[in-house]
C-alpha cells in the first residue's frame, strides 16, 4: 500500500513540476523573444480607422465620469470616434452620473458621447456589449471598463497596428497598478503583468487566444458576423477570443508599458474571490461549450483545453504542496521519494523569484518605487495568495455544479487613480496625462 | 632520510616504475602538524571511534616520483562583435575555417595525449578506487557508499560516474579493470573541457593564438596528463566550471542561458566543494555580459537560482536523512558528536582544517607538481599576475583578463593558504593557468609588428617546439635515471597498472572468495564486482575506522585476517594512519604473523600479498 502511495506522490510531483516549469516558461515567453514582437509602433499612421468605444458600466458611480472624460479627450479626431456608455435601465445611479458627464462634455463641444440603456435581461456585461454593438457605426469596436485609465494615444496605436499589419483584432495591454494597496495586490498586479506582457503572446502565436475584457479592438463587421458576445458566458472575452481563433483570425497582442490601460486590483479579498470565481467559472463554461473543438489543429485545441481547464486543476494544486509535505512527514517516505516530492517547491521558488524581479521591472517601467516592505509581503503572501486562488477555483466548481451563474460584479474605487495622482503630485506634474493634452489642445485652439 | 627530499630517489629506478605514494583519504584529518611529509588523515586526539558514529580514517598519500594590424592567427575583423564591444562581451562567434582547424587540432591532441596509454599510466590510485567504489555502491546497492557516507564530499561526482557505468554494456568491466571505465569518462570530459577552454580563450582574446596556446598546455603538460587521466572529482568539477563559463559567453543571449550556467556551476559545487571559489568571477562575467540587456535581472536571478538549486538539494538530502545538524547541536571539533554523521559538522570541520602548507620544503609544490611541470606553474603564475594587472586597467572596456586572472587567483589562493591536503588539488589550477598563459602570450605576440611577425612567429614556434622536446621540460622526452638514456615521457611509455592487474589475477587464482582480506581501495571494485565475489575484502582504511567492518567482521584481531594485499606504499600509509593505534592489529598481523606469498617489484613500485599464519 505504501509503495502505491509513494508511486502516486512521485507521479503527481513530476506532473506538477513539469506543469509548473511550463508555466514558468510561458511567464517569461516574451522576454525570451525579440522585443519588437510585442511592443507598439514607434511612429503612428495618420488616423484612418474610426472607433466605437463601448463603456459597459454597472454601479460605477464612483468612476464612470472620469473614465468617460478621459476617453473623450483621447488624442484622436473626435469625428472618428463614437463613445457609448452602456447601462441597464435599473442602474439609475450610474445612468445619472453618465448623463451628467455627457451634458458637461456637450457644453465643452464634445458631442460624440451617448448613453445606451437596455431594458431586457440578462443584466450582464456581454448583453450590454451586444446592446452597444447594435448602436455602433464605426469601423472598429473597442471596449473599456468603467474604471479604466486609458492612454491618450491608444487609438493611434490601434490604428497604426491595424493599418500596418492588416489585422482585424488587436489586444492592447491592461495593467493593474496599485501594487501596494494590500498584501495581495502586488501578486495580482504581477499576474496581469506577466499575462499581458508575456503569456498572451504565446497564445496568440499558437492560435488559441483567450482575450481580455477590455482594450481589445475588433473590426466591427467581424464581430457582427460572429454574432457578438455570448450572453450566457461569465468570461465572454475568453469565449470570443477562442471563436476568433477557431475562425482563423490572427490576433495581434500589443503590450507596451507606455500605452497600457491602467486598472485597479479588487479592493477587498471578498471582491477578489468573486472576481476569480467568475473567471474560473467562465473558463469552465467556455470549456464545456466546446468552441475549442473548432480550432484547426490539435496543438491549438490542447492549448485551449489546458488553459480553460487550469482553474479546475488550480483548485487541487493549492492543496498539493501542504498535502505532500504532510504526507512525507507522516509517512517517513524514502529519501528519494521525498526529494522528488520537493521538486514542485523548487519551481514554486522559481516563480517567486521571477515575481520579485518582475515587480522591479514593473515599477521601473511605470516610474514607481518598490517599498522595502513589498518583497517580504510578496514572500509571505505567496502561499496564502495561491490558496486564495484555489479557494476561488473550488468555489467556481461548486457554483458550476449547482448551476449558479449570476454575474458577481467587482467593485471599483479608483485606487489606481489615487496612485497615479499621488505619483503625479510627487513629480510636480498634473495628475492626468490627458490634462496635459487638454492643456495643449486648449493652447492650440487659442492659437488657431 | 625523507623519501621526498631526493628527487632522484623519488624517480623510478626502472623506467617503468615511477613511485607512487599512497593517497590520503579525503577530507583528511591531519595526524601531526610537524610531520615532514604528507601526513595521512587520522582522527585527532580525543576523537574516539564510536560504534554508532562511524568515521573514516584518512589515508595519506606519499608524493609521487618521477610529470592592429591583422595577424595571421586572428580571425577576420568582420566577425568580431559589433564595433566598440570587447570580444568577451560580444559572445562566442561562429568558427571560421581556420578556427575549425585549430579546434580540431586541440581536440585531436587532447584525445591523443590523454587517451594513449590511458589504462596503463598512472597507477590506479586509492582515490580512484574510492570513487569507483562509491559509484559501484550506487548501482549495486542503491546507496551512496558501501560504508557510512559521512559527507566528506557531495555525491554528484560519483553519481555521474555511476550513470556512466550504468549505461556501459558491461558496466564496470567494459574496459577491463573497473577503474578503466572511469578513466574513459575522464577522457570524454577532458575533450569537452578542451572544447570549452578553446572557446573561452578565443572569446576572451578575439584571436586563435590564445586558444591554441591554452589548449596546448591543457593537453600536453605532464602535470595535466598525469592527474587528468585519473578518476577524480576535481576533473569532473573542472568540466562543470568550464561549461558554466562557456554558457555565460554564448552569443545567443537567451533568457535562460543564465539558468543553465548556474545549474552547471551548482553541479560543480556539489561535485567538489571548492568550486565555490569561482562564483565571484563567473557571476561578475555574467553581470558584465548582461549589463546592457533589458533582461539582465532575470539572467542574474536565474544564475543564482540554478546554482542554488543543486546545492540546496544536497542540504535537503541531509535534512531528510536527519543528518544536517550534529547530535545535540555540538560543533565541538575536539569532541566529535556521537549518534550520527552531520553535513554541517563536516563542513565546520573542513573550514577549520588547515594543513598542507604549499611553500615549505617537502610540500607537493616541490615534490610532485614542479617536477612534473615547473614550466606551466611558473609561466602560469606570471601570466596570472599579468592578467590581473592588465585586467584591472582595462576592466571597464573588457573584463576578460580580469576574469581570467581572478579565476586562477581564486584557486591559487585556496591552495596557497594551506588547504593542500592531496596532490591532485592542483587540478583546477591547470586549465586556468593555461588560459592565462594563452591570453598573455597572445597579447605579447600581438604587439610584434606585422613584418617582423612573419619571421618571428615561425621562429618562435620552432624554438618553442625544440624546447619542449628537451628532457628538461619532460613534455615528450625525459631524462633517464642515473645515467640511463633519455626516453619517451612516462605518460606515453610506462605501463604501471599491469602489476595491479597481476595482483588481482593472483588473488583470484589462489585465495578463496570467502577469505577475509585486508586490501586497499584501488582493487576493491575488481574484487566485489566480478564473480566470484570477495565480500570480505575490505580496505585497511575501513577496517581500521568503520565499526561495522572493524568490530563485526574482523573484531579488531589479527587472527581474523587471512590475507593482506598491499598496494604500493600501503604499509607506509598504514603506519602514517596509525596515529591513534587503530591499525595496530593489522600492522601486527603484517609484521609479526604473516609470510609473503606473492610480490612484484618494478622500480619503486612494490606490490605484495601476505598470508597470515594463525
| Pairs from A352-357 (Cβ < 8 Å, separation ≥ 24) | A352/A378, A352/A379, A352/A382, A353/B301, A353/B305, A354/A24, A354/A27, A354/A28, A354/A194, A354/B298, A354/B301, A355/A187, A355/A190, A355/A382, A356/B301, A357/B297, A357/B298, A357/B301
Nearest to B187 by CA among B117, B281, B88, B276: B117
> Residue B274: which residues within 8 A CB-CB, separation 6 or more?
B237, B411, B414, B419, B425, B428
Q: Which of these, B29, B177, B148, lies nearest to B542 by C-alpha position?
A: B148
A9-18, A155-164, B81-90, B571-580: which has the highest mean pLDDT? A155-164
pLDDT for A127 equals: 94
Q: What is the dihedral of CA A240, A246, A251, A255, to 10 degrees?
A: 60
B143 touches chain A (CB under 8 A): no
- CB burial of residue B542 (10 Å; 0-12, 13-18, 19+): buried
Q: What is the mean predicted confidence (pLDDT) over B168-196?
A: 97
Hey, is the C-beta of A62 within 8 angstroms of any chain B C-beta?
no
B297 inside 8 A of chain A by CB: yes
pLDDT exceeds cutoff 90 at B23: no
Q: Is A32 on the interface with B (CB under 8 A)?
A: yes
Read off the pLDDT of residues B34-64 as tens digits, 9 standing for 90 and up. Answer: 223 333 333 333 333 333 334 444 444 444 4
pLDDT tens across B186-204, in order? 999 999 999 999 999 999 9
Residues 242..271 of B with a Cβ closer than 8 Å to A: which? 254-256
- DSSP SS3 for A170: strand
pLDDT of residue B74: 36
Residue A348 · residue A20 · CB < 8 Å? yes
pLDDT (tens digit, 9 = 90+) per residue, B319-329? 888 888 888 88
* A contact test, residue of B142, B254, B257, B298 with most A CBs within 10 A: B298
B-chain residues near A31 (CB < 8 A): 255, 295, 298
Give the per-residue pLDDT at B537: 95
A387 interfaces chain B, CB cutoff of 8 Å: no
Taking only Cα atoms into account, the Rg of chain B, rounded to an integer number of angstroms, comes to: 25
Residue A374, preceding peptide bond in cis (omega within 30° of 0): no
pLDDT reported for residue B417: 80
Tell me: pLDDT of B228 over 90: yes
Q: Round to whole Å and give the CA distance between B560 and B571.
A: 19
pLDDT at residue number A443: 37
B496: pLDDT strictly greater than 80: yes
Separation CA B577–CA B583 (nearest Å): 7
pLDDT for the residue numbered B388: 97
CB–CB contact B320 A350 (8 Å): no
Residue of A nearest to B259 (CA): A350
List chain A residues with pLDDT less than 70. 36, 315, 317-319, 321, 324-325, 327-329, 331, 406-448
pLDDT single digits (tens) B126-157:
999 999 999 999 999 999 999 888 888 999 99
Contact A335 B321 (CB under 8 A): yes
CA distance B468 to chain A (A): 49
Q: What percent of chain B has pLDDT over 90?
A: 55
> Is B317 close to A349, i.e. CB distance below 8 A?
no
Query: What pLDDT, on a 0 to 100 scale, did the predictor assign at position A62?
Result: 85
**Pairing state of beta strands B517-519 and B487-488?**
unpaired
Highest mean pLDDT: which range of A408-422, B72-86, B418-432: B418-432
Q: What is the mean pLDDT of residues B204-215?
A: 94
B317 CB near a chain A CB, below 8 Å? yes
Mean pLDDT of B424-449: 94
| B457 band by pLDDT with thresholds 50, 70 and 90 | confident
Residues of chain B contacting residue A353, judged by C-beta atoms under 8 Å apart: 301, 305
Q: What is the pLDDT of residue A412?
A: 62
* φ and ψ at residue A82, rounded to 5 degrees: -125, 125
Residue B281 has pLDDT above 70, yes or no: yes
Q: What pLDDT score does A344 carry?
A: 86
Q: What is the pLDDT of residue B18?
A: 39
Query: Look-up: residue for cell 466548481?
Result: A397
A31 closest CB neighbour out of B255, B309, B321: B255
Q: Specify whether the backbone of B34 is left (phi greater than 0), alpha (psi in -120 to 50) or beta.
A: alpha
Beta strands in B413-506 (DSSP E): 477-478, 487-488
Residue found by looking up cell 450582464 in the block: A124
Classify B415 as helix, strand or coil: helix
Per-residue pLDDT of B240-276, as tens digits, reads 999 999 999 986 666 787 899 999 999 999 999 999 9
For residues A382-399, b (16+ Cβ closer than 10 Å) or e, as one string?
beebbebbbbbbbbbbeb
Element containing residue A115 per DSSP (H, E): strand A113-118
Say if the Cβ atoms of A339 and B313 lie within 8 Å: yes
Give the pLDDT score at A441.
37
What pLDDT is attached to residue A111?
92
pLDDT the model gives residue B345: 85
CA B189 from centroid of its chain's CA atoms: 12
Closest Cα in chain A, distance from residue B296 (Å):
10
Please report residues of A whose CB lies closer than 8 A to that of B303. Answer: none
Which residues of chain A neighbour B316 with C-beta distances below 8 Å? 339, 342
Q: Do A31 and B321 touch (CB under 8 A)?
A: no
Q: Which residues of chain A are within 8 Å of residue B321 when distances are taken between CB atoms?
A: 335
Q: Which residues of B166-201 are buried (b: 16+ CB within 10 A; e: fewer)?
A: eeeeebbbebebbbbbbbbbbbebbbbbbbbbbbbb
**Average confidence score pLDDT of chain A:** 85
Number of CB pairs < 8 Å for A and B? Answer: 32
**What span, in angstroms and rounded, lies between the C-alpha atoms of A341 and A327?**
10
With pLDDT > 70 as the criterion, what percentage of chain B qualifies? Answer: 84
The grid coordinates listed for A263 are: 486598472
Amino acid at each position: 500500500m505504501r509503495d502505491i502511495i509513494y508511486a502516486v506522490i512521485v507521479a503527481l510531483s513530476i506532473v506538477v513540476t513539469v506543469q509548473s516549469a511550463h508555466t514558468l516558461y510561458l511567464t517569461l515567453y516574451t522576454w525570451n523573444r525579440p522585443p519588437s514582437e510585442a511592443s507598439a509602433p514607434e511612429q503612428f499612421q495618420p488616423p484612418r480607422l474610426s472607433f466605437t468605444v463601448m463603456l459597459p458600466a454597472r454601479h460605477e458611480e464612483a468612476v464612470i465620469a472620469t473614465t468617460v472624460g478621459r476617453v473623450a479627450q483621447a488624442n484622436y479626431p473626435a469625428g472618428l470616434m463614437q463613445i457609448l456608455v452602456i447601462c441597464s435601465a435599473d442602474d439609475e445611479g450610474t445612468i445619472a452620473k453618465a448623463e451628467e458627464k455627457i451634458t458637461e462634455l456637450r457644453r465643452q463641444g464634445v458631442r460624440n458621447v451617448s448613453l445606451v440603456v437596455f431594458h431586457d435581461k440578462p443584466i450582464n456585461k456581454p448583453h450590454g456589449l451586444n446592446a452597444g454593438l447594435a448602436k455602433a457605426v464605426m469601423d472598429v469596436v473597442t471596449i473599456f471598463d468603467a474604471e479604466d485609465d486609458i492612454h491618450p494615444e491608444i487609438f493611434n496605436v490601434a490604428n497604426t497596428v491595424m493599418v500596418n499589419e492588416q489585422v482585424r483584432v488587436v489586444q492592447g495591454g491592461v495593467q493593474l497598478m496599485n501594487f501596494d494597496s494590500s498584501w495581495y495586490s502586488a501578486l495580482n498586479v504581477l499576474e496581469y503583468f506577466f499575462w499581458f506582457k508575456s503569456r498572451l503572446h504565446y497564445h496568440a502565436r499558437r492560435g488559441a487566444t483567450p482575450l481580455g475584457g477590455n482594450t481589445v479592438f475588433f473590426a466591427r463587421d467581424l464581430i457582427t458576423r460572429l454574432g457578438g458576445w455570448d450572453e450566457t458566458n461569465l468570461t465572454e472575452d475568453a469565449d470570443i477570443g477562442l471563436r476568433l481563433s477557431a475562425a482563423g483570425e490572427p490576433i495581434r497582442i500589443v503590450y507596451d508599458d507606455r500605452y497600457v490601460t491602467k486598472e485597479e486590483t479588487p479592493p477587498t479579498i471578498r471582491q477578489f474571490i468573486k472576481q476569480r470565481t467568475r473567471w474560473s467559472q467562465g473558463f469552465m463554461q467556455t470549456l464545456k461549450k466546446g468552441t475549442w473543438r473548432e480550432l484547426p489543429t490539435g496543438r491549438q485545441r490542447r492549448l485551449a483545453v489546458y488553459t480553460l481547464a487550469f482553474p479546475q486543476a488550480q483548485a487541487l494544486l493549492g492543496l498539493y504542496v501542504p498535502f505532500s509535505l504532510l504526507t512525507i512527514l507522516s509517512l517517513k517516505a524514502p529519501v528519494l521519494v521525498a526529494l522528488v516530492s520537493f521538486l514542485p517547491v523548487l519551481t514554486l521558488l522559481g516563480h517567486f523569484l521571477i515575481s520579485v524581479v518582475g515587480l522591479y521591472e514593473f515599477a521601473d517601467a511605470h516610474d514607481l518605487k518598490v517599498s522595502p516592505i513589498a518583497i517580504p509581503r510578496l514572500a509571505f503572501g505567496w502561499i496564502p495568495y495561491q490558496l486564495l486562488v484555489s479557494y476561488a477555483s473550488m468555489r467556481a466548481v461548486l457554483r458550476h455544479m449547482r448551476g449558479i451563474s449570476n454575474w458577481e460584479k467587482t467593485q471599483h474605487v479608483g485606487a489606481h487613480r489615487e496612485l497615479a495622482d499621488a505619483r503625479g503630485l510627487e513629480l510636480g506634474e498634473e495628475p492626468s496625462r490627458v490634462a496635459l493634452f487638454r492643456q495643449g489642445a486648449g493652447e492650440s485652439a487659442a492659437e488657431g | 632520510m625523507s623519501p621526498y627530499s631526493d628527487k632522484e630517489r623519488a624517480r623510478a629506478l626502472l623506467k617503468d616504475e615511477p613511485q607512487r605514494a599512497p593517497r590520503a583519504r579525503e577530507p583528511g584529518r591531519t595526524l601531526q602538524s610537524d610531520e615532514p611529509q604528507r601526513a595521512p588523515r587520522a582522527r585527532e586526539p580525543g576523537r574516539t571511534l564510536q560504534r554508532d558514529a562511524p568515521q573514516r580514517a584518512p589515508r595519506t598519500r606519499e608524493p609521487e616520483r618521477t610529470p592592429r594590424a591583422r595577424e595571421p592567427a586572428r580571425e577576420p575583423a568582420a566577425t568580431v562583435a559589433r564595433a566598440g564591444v570587447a570580444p568577451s562581451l560580444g559572445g562566442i562567434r561562429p568558427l571560421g575555417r581556420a578556427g575549425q582547424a585549430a579546434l580540431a587540432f586541440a581536440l585531436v591532441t587532447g584525445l591523443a595525449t590523454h587517451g594513449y596509454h590511458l589504462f596503463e599510466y598512472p597507477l590506479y590510485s586509492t582515490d580512484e578506487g574510492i570513487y569507483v567504489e562509491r559509484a559501484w555502491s550506487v548501482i549495486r546497492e542503491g546507496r551512496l557508499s558501501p560504508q557510512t557516507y559521512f559527507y566528506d564530499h557531495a555525491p554528484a561526482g560519483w553519481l555521474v560516474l555511476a550513470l556512466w557505468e550504468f549505461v556501459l554494456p558491461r558496466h564496470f568491466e567494459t574496459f577491463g579493470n573497473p577503474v578503466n571505465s572511469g578513466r574513459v569518462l575522464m577522457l570524454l570530459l577532458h575533450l569537452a573541457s578542451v572544447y570549452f577552454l578553446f572557446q573561452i580563450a578565443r572569446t576572451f582574446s578575439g584571436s586563435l593564438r590564445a586558444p591554441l596556446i591554452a589548449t596546448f598546455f591543457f593537453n600536453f603538460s605532464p602535470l595535466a596528463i598525469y592527474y587528468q587521466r585519473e578518476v577524480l572529482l576535481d576533473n569532473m568539477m573542472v568540466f562543470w566550471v568550464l561549461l558554466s563559463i562557456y554558457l555565460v559567453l554564448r552569443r545567443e543571449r537567451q533568457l535562460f542561458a543564465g539558468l543553465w550556467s548556474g545549474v552547471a556551476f551548482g553541479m560543480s559545487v556539489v561535485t567538489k566543494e571548492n568550486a565555490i571559489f569561482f562564483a565571484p568571477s563567473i557571476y561578475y562575467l555574467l553581470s558584465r555580459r548582461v549589463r546592457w540587456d533589458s533582461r539582465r535581472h532575470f539572467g542574474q536571478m536565474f544564475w543564482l537560482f540554478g546554482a542554488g538549486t543543486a546545492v540546496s538539494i544536497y542540504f535537503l538530502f541531509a535534512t531528510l536523512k536527519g543528518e544536517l545538524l550534529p547530535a545535540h547541536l555540538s560543533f565541538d571539533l575536539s569532541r566529535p558528536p556521537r549518534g550520527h554523521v552531520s553535513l554541517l559538522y563536516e563542513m565546520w570541520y573542513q573550514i577549520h582544517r588547515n594543513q598542507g602548507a604549499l611553500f615549505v620544503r617537502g610540500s607537493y609544490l616541490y615534490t610532485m607538481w614542479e617536477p612534473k611541470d615547473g614550466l606551466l606553474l611558473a609561466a602560469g603564475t606570471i601570466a596570472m599576475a599579468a592578467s590581473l594587472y592588465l585586467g584591472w586597467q582595462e576592466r571597464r572596456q573588457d573584463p576578460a583578463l580580469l576574469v581570467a586572472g581572478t579565476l586562477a587567483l581564486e584557486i591559487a589562493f585556496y591552495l596557497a593558504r594551506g588547504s593542500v591536503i592531496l596532490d591532485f588539488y592542483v587540478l583546477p589550477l591547470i586549465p586556468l593557468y593555461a588560459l592565462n598563459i594563452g591570453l598573455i602570450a597572445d597579447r605579447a605576440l600581438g604587439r610584434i609588428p606585422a613584418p617582423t611577425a612573419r619571421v618571428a612567429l615561425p621562429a618562435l614556434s620552432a624554438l618553442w617546439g625544440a624546447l619542449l622536446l628537451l628532457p628538461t621540460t619532460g613534455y615528450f622526452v625525459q631524462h633517464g635515471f642515473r645515467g640511463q638514456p633519455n626516453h619517451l615521457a612516462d605518460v606515453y611509455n610506462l605501463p604501471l597498472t599491469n602489476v595491479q592487474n597481476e595482483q588481482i589475477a593472483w588473488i583470484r587464482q589462489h585465495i578463496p572468495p570467502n577469505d577475509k582480506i585486508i586490501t586497499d581501495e584501488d582493487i576493491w571494485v575488481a574484487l566485489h564486482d566480478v564473480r566470484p565475489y570477495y565480500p570480505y575484502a575490505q580496505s585497511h582504511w575501513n577496517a581500521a575506522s568503520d565499526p561495522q567492518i572493524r568490530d563485526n567482521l574482523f573484531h579488531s584481531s589479527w587472527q581474523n585476517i587471512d590475507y593482506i594485499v598491499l598496494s604500493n606504499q600501503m604499509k607506509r600509509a598504514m603506519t602514517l594512519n596509525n596515529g591513534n593505534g587503530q591499525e595496530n592489529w593489522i600492522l601486527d598481523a603484517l609484521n609479526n604473523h604473516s609470510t609473503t606469498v606473492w610480490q612484484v617489484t618494478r622500480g619503486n613500485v612494490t606490490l605484495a600479498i601476505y598470508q597470515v599464519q594463525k
